Structure 1
Amino acid sequence: MPTLSLINFNIVCATLGGFISIFGLVSYLFKERFYLSEALISLLAGVAFSPHAANFIRPLDYALGTDQNLDQITLCFTRLVLGVQLVLAGVQLPKRYLQLEWKSLSLLLGPGMAAMWMCSALVIWALVPNFSFLHALAVGACVTPTDPVLSNSIVKGKFADKNVPQPLQRIIIAESGANDGLGYPFLFFALYLIQYTGMGGEGFSGGAGKAMGLWFYETWAYTILLSVGYGVTVGWISRELLHWAEEKHYVDRESFLVFAIALALFIVGTCGLIGTDDLLACFVAGNVFTQDDWFRLETMDDSLQPTIDMLLNLAVFMWFGAVCPWHLFLENNVIPIYRLIPLGILILLVRRMPIIFAMHKYIDQIESLFQTTFVGFFGPIGVGAIFYLSVSREYLANITVNEEVRADAQQVSDTIEVVVWFLVICSIVVHGLSIPFAKAGYHLPRTISQAISTSTNDEPIPLTSNQHTHSTATHDHVETTSRRTRRHDTSLPTTASRSHTPQPLAFQIGRSVIRSASPSSDARIGSGAGEEPARPVNLVLKTETKADSARSE
């Protein structure tokens, strides 16, 4: 006898597939007409299907009921999405882009990231009660990188094509791609000091000297430099192998198109095995892979990569909506809601804007104060922040004394969970609605002004019943003449051609219709014998006034 199989796999497949199908039916309307980002829509869908609402997506069930397993799932999911996104970001950039634009990128990735880190830490330190500046540095490091996934909403699509110059689009892509992998030094600078100096270094010996030694050796040498070298090597070898296979006609079109995505999966897996920075390696490999611009030009008109990109974006933000600890925003032991809301507002305003205004004269791609404001405001916090949140909580869970997490490490872990999740939600909502609100604010006053002006200046002149009948009859006569002329003249020009050719005008005076001669033709217009047939004209009726009606009477 058939029975229902309400297992999690079936429910998740049905939910995810149903949402993507329904969203696909109206995706153009939402993204290109209303300028709503797919991240915001997916987040709201995740909330609707989460245990807080419909309970179709049950993250804790998949994690066997433990928060530690749930953090691990989220960490792996964000690694996968960011790895693919960063390889594709590297592929999108033109030939030798990093070498040519090194000056602008150096400013954004050096002083820019450092200032964003410090500004974020200062705001967090000021608003989180009983929180040290060192702990605030750890939380601020998680939200320092700009997110490559959310950045796509302002560098792709109709809005970007119309309003964002291409050099500005490319520098935003390059910055968001590179700084995600460069978040490790900022994060582990704080985490090492917390481990070896917090609470007097209880449980760990060596002090600040050992913390700095680990920071230079493990973070800069092993994590950053090894990742760059590994990315360059894998990207160059992959490019040469694909060139060779293409010249020998060994690779088919489908495998050629999916090669960059497969490269991303390979780098994420191998970097995870050796414990290095897979995000930075993916971005560097993507750039080296298209160093000669060959692969980018070959796949420019293909839709496979954007399609995979969209599917991953929809899935990850649905997951965020389902796993976000919404209840912690109201009930937590680290920061009350009346401090959390100002924290989100201040981070969005001062985290990035001051340093961009300070450096905009030295960044060639930024040409005006409006573009400076745009770049300063659109520094979204998203998937990268959740990735670093998971990394930091995993590291802090290992700072233990007597098999229990040390008190200061637990406080930092709890604060990171609340603050970073709240800032990510704020960024998704604010940056997702900024463009629609900006467009509405720009067009609404003009629309209202035009409506008022039209209603004031174009009031109809009241006519008597006799005048109304006479005007209607005249209009019908002229329209009948026009239709008869079109019917007998087979050389009637199309709408496009008429729009570029000066046309004779017709004026109605009393009961007579007088047509002016066409400037482009010497043909006579009349109905007498021996005259040429009337040529087609556009008839423009003059509104009959009371004076005209009196004269015609």
Structure 2
Amino acid sequence: MSALYRWLFVAGVLVLLLGLFQKWFQEKWYLTEPLTALALGIAAGPAGLQLLNLPPAADSPRVLTQVSRVTLAVADMGVALRLPRGYPVEHWRSLAVILGAGMVLMGLVSGLLVWSLLGVSFWVAMLVGATVTSTDPIVATTIVTGPVAKRNIPGRLRHFISAESGANDGAVYPLVLLPILVLARPTSEALSRWITYVVGWQVGGAIVLGATLGYAAAGLFQWADLGNVVERQGFVAYTLALTFAVLGGARLLTVDAILASFVAGIAYRMAPGRQQPSTERNVQKAMTKFFVLPTFVLVGVAIPWAGWAALGWRGLLLAVLVLVVRRPPVVVALARWLHPLQTRKDVGFAAWFGPIGVSTLFYAMLAVQRTGSRRIWSIASLLIVASLVAHGLTATPLSKRLPPDPAERR
């Protein structure tokens, strides 16, 4: 019980301090909030003051999976509410390119790097590559929101990165499940189940569930508001309740809960009457911070130092190469089809800022549970921390070097 209260104390103090000094952090402190939370987790964890610890080794993957799933669902709903109304529909071609060819190429490049450097089997390498494919919506949000971002990053670029980061957390699910199935079943059986159950039911069902619940929730809100049947204060945490409803429904139906949450947010925004849901956005933003910062503390506590040591210099080389090769060449190659990226600086910024974070934590823990290989977490956690450091330290300086387009400011 004392361990729980230690977690509550650290999480509460962290959210309080970063909330009070948020503007100062964004303008003066070159470390992003996730990186600051990670550093606190390392300092308070087993490698530091030993104030915080994880559950027994057998339970840790399950705990981390559930915590990261809820965190991603809340964060993706927040991203969906922040986007301009109808943005994914208006820019569906560009999003289809980056979520389709872009994710496949990024996963393949990352997997081949793992395979060539670390000597793991091909499908385990592809699994690790898939877990680090998606752009994390939480770290991306810290880069494209706040006063520094709004002054310096054009709206077209902020919205594109946000939309990609929100959508690809769920869209990468089939890429992660394919190697998991191939490792566990005969190839033909694995492909058949992947097409019918994973793509057909889990992904397709997530889209239908999210769209239905999001649109229905917006309609119910409008009916109650126009009918004056409840007090306005009753709707303050409405979208948070929607997030949990979608998350619970998706888990009961065994569909992709992360994708369903993002789709529900988009459907909620596009429904009639939901023009500028500023209250919902503010509540969702506050709750995202409440969930996100403790999750990054958890990542710091969970770092497998012995596993990192076993990777040696090859692990460090892998981290550098993944940062340099995983995303930048792919975005540059596909830039002509990514219409929101209108200038070379747009392309360069989007190519670099595809951070790895909680989405990788979720999929890595899912992979550990399904395969029993804890080495997957050793590799994935190293790439998470490398990304948090590299992108966290460069976010503010590079944002300030990107001149804004006044016509795109929102």
Q: Aligned residue for 2:389?
A: 429
Give the counterpart of 1:190 among 179, 189, 193: 179
Q: Give 1:167-246 correspondences, 5 Å limit.
A: 167-196=156-185, 207-246=186-225
- How far does residue 12 in structure 1 lie from its aligned partner after superposition? 2.6
Go from structure 1 to structure 2 and tell me whether the alpha carbon gap of 1:43 and 1:31 turns closer, same or farther (over 3 Å shift). same
Greater helix fraction, Structure 1 or Structure 2: 2
Q: Aligned residue for 1:117?
A: 107
Does the CA contact (< 8 Å) of 1:95 and 1:292 recur in 2? Answer: no
Determine if the alignment matches structure 1 residue 80 to structure 2 residue 70: yes
> Could you tell me the TM-score, scaled by structure 2's length?
0.93
3-state SS in 1 of match to 2:26: helix
Q: Aligned residue for 2:131?
A: 142
- How far does residue 11 in structure 1 lie from its aligned partner after superposition? 2.5
Partners of 1:353 and 1:302 in 2: how far apart? 31
Q: Give 1:400-411 correspondences, 5 Å limit.
A: none
Q: Give 1:404-483 correspondences, 5 Å limit.
A: 413-436=373-396, 438=398
- For residues 431-484 of structure 1, what are the alpha-carbon distances to aligned partners after superposition, in whole Å with 9 as ceiling and x for unaligned? 100134548999xxxxxxxxxxxxxxxxxxxxxxxxxxxxxxxxxxxxxxxxxx
What letter matches 1:290 in structure 2? R
What letter matches 1:418 in structure 2? S
Q: How many residues align?
A: 402
Go from structure 1 to structure 2 and tell me whether the alpha carbon gap of 1:50 and 1:298 turns closer, same or farther (over 3 Å shift). same
Go from structure 1 to structure 2 and tell me whether the alpha carbon gap of 1:255 and 1:296 turns closer, same or farther (over 3 Å shift). farther
Q: Aligned residue for 2:229?
A: 250
| Unaligned segments of structure 2, at least 5 residues | 403-410
What letter matches 1:117 in structure 2? G
Does the CA contact (< 8 Å) of 1:95 and 1:293 recur in 2? Answer: no
Q: Aligned residue for 1:158?
A: 147
- How far does residue 293 in structure 1 lie from its aligned partner after superposition? 7.0
What letter matches 2:65 in structure 1? L
Q: Give 1:298-317 correspondences, 5 Å limit.
A: 298-299=277-278, 303-317=282-296
3-state SS in 2 of match to 1:290: helix
3-state SS in 1 of match to 2:276: helix
Does the CA contact (< 8 Å) of 1:35 and 1:159 recur in 2? Answer: no
Does the CA contact (< 8 Å) of 1:257 and 1:299 recur in 2? Answer: no
Partners of 1:296 and 1:315 in 2: how far apart? 32
Does the CA contact (< 8 Å) of 2:239 and 2:280 recur in 1? Answer: no
Partners of 2:146 and 2:196 in 1: how far apart? 42
Q: Give 1:335-414 correspondences, 5 Å limit.
A: 336-397=311-372, 413-414=373-374
Partners of 1:283 and 1:10 in 2: how far apart? 32
Partners of 1:99 and 1:25 in 2: how far apart? 37
Go from structure 1 to structure 2 and tell me whether the alpha carbon gap of 1:378 and 1:440 turns closer, same or farther (over 3 Å shift). closer
Partners of 2:44 and 2:52 in 1: how far apart? 6
3-state SS in 2 of match to 1:251: coil
Q: Aligned residue for 2:405?
A: none
What letter matches 1:351 in structure 2? R
More displaced 10-residue stretch of structure 1: 372-381 or 43-52: 43-52
Partners of 2:251 and 2:239 in 1: how far apart? 18
3-state SS in 1 of match to 2:270: coil
Partners of 2:26 and 2:335 in 1: how far apart? 30
RMSD: 2.0
- How far does residue 116 in structure 1 lie from its aligned partner after superposition? 0.5
Q: Aligned residue for 1:34?
A: 29
- How far does residue 144 in structure 1 lie from its aligned partner after superposition? 0.7
What letter matches 1:434 in structure 2? T
Q: Radius of gyration: which is bigger?
A: 1
Does the CA contact (< 8 Å) of 1:227 and 1:277 recur in 2? Answer: yes
3-state SS in 1 of match to 2:59: helix
Partners of 1:255 and 1:337 in 2: how far apart? 54
- For residues 349-391 of structure 1, what are the alpha-carbon distances to aligned partners after superposition, in whole Å with 9 as ceiling and x for unaligned? 1111111111112211111112111101100000000100111
3-state SS in 2 of match to 1:365: coil
- How far does residue 337 in structure 1 lie from its aligned partner after superposition? 1.5
Give the counterpart of 2:245 among 239, 257, 266: 266
3-state SS in 1 of match to 2:41: helix
Give the counterpart of 1:325 among 304, 323, 328: 304
Go from structure 1 to structure 2 and tell me whether the alpha carbon gap of 1:219 and 1:356 turns closer, same or farther (over 3 Å shift). same
| Unaligned segments of structure 1, at least 5 residues | 1-5, 197-206, 398-412, 443-553
Partners of 2:306 and 2:37 in 1: how far apart? 20
Tell me which of the two structures has the higher relative contact order, counting C-alpha pairs closer than 8 angstroms and 6 or more residues apart.
2
3-state SS in 2 of match to 1:297: coil
Go from structure 1 to structure 2 and tell me whether the alpha carbon gap of 1:293 and 1:43 turns closer, same or farther (over 3 Å shift). farther
- How far does residue 135 in structure 1 lie from its aligned partner after superposition? 2.1
Partners of 1:16 and 1:140 in 2: how far apart? 31
Divergent runs of 4+, >4 A: 436-442
Identity of aligned residues (%): 28
Give the counterpart of 2:38 among 39, 43, 50: 43
